[in-house]
């Protein structure tokens, strides 16, 4: 979808960030991501963060096969997700950012949103990998190696090595 609008480097970066986000939400048991299939081909997926305690489901981002105008994939995915949220007892369904036309079939109105950036004071801690993300870190390292990104792979391996040393020291 974004080819031509974004550079291939930016698309690759965003794809890696989305994959990391999905791994993290999955690891805490809060990912709901229905997929839509047409025969053997996946034509859509819509990711959500499911806050069971707050009874809120928030749509984060989606992907769909472009060029299939006969089927309103976004609208269909959204409707199925809302139905699931109701069935699971969620009180709120947040459509997420964006003003795509199909969202107005479901929304009661617009809401002004703000973004916030959080940074850590201790940058050493910011580069530590929690134990539950080691699998994700290794997959990312493998992708860097496959792309022959020596600088990136070396940095990732060093970060994994530091995390392992910290875990061993803490188990002491």
Compare 161 and 130 and report the one with higher pLDDT. 161
Q: Are residues 111 and 121 in the same domain?
A: no
d(CA 144, CA 155): 10
Query: Quick check: 32 pLDDT over 90?
Result: yes
Shared domain check, 137 and 94? no
> Do residues 137 and 83 share a domain?
no
pLDDT tops 60 at residue 123? no
Phi, psi of 163 (to 5 degrees): -65, -45
Residues 89 and 4 in one domain: yes
Taking each helix axis from N to C end, the angle separating 8-27 and 134-146, rounded to the nearest 10 degrees, works out to: 160
- What is the tens place of the pLDDT at every residue in 73-88? 878 888 889 999 999 9
Asked whether residue 25 falls in the same domain as residue 109, the answer is yes
Residues 170 and 122 in one domain: yes
Same domain, 43 and 110: yes
What CATH number does the domain containing 83 carry?
A: 3.40.630.30
Same domain, yes or no, for 11 and 82?
yes
- Segments in 1-133 forming alpha helices (H): 8-27, 73-87, 123-126
**Residue 104 and residue 137 in one domain:** no
Domain, as residue range, for 2: 1-115
Residues 13 and 58 in one domain: yes
Last residue of a domain, one of 87, 115, 143: 115
Number of domains in the chain: 2
Q: What is the pLDDT of residues 155-168, one digit of tens each?
A: 888 888 888 887 77
Do 28 and 102 lie in a common domain?
Answer: yes
């Amino acid at each position: 979808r974004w080819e031509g609008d974004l550079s291939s480097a930016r698309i690759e970066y965003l794809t890696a960030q989305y994959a990391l986000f999905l791994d993290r939400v999955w690891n805490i048991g809060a990912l709901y991501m229905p997929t839509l299939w047409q025969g053997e081909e996946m034509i859509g997926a819509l990711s959500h963060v499911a806050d069971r305690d707050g009874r809120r489901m928030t749509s984060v981002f989606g992907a769909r096969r472009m060029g299939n105008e006969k089927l309103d994939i976004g609208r269909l995915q959204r409707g199925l997700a809302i139905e699931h949220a109701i069935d699971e007892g969620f009180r709120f369904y947040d459509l997420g950012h964006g003003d795509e036309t199909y969202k107005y079939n479901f929304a009661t109105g617009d809401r002004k949103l703000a973004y916030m950036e959080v940074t850590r004071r201790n940058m050493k801690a910011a580069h530590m990998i929690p134990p539950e993300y080691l699998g994700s870190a290794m997959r990312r390292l493998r992708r860097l190696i496959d792309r022959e990104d020596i600088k990136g792979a070396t940095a990732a391996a060093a970060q994994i090595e530091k995390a392992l040393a910290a875990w061993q020291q803490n188990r002491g």
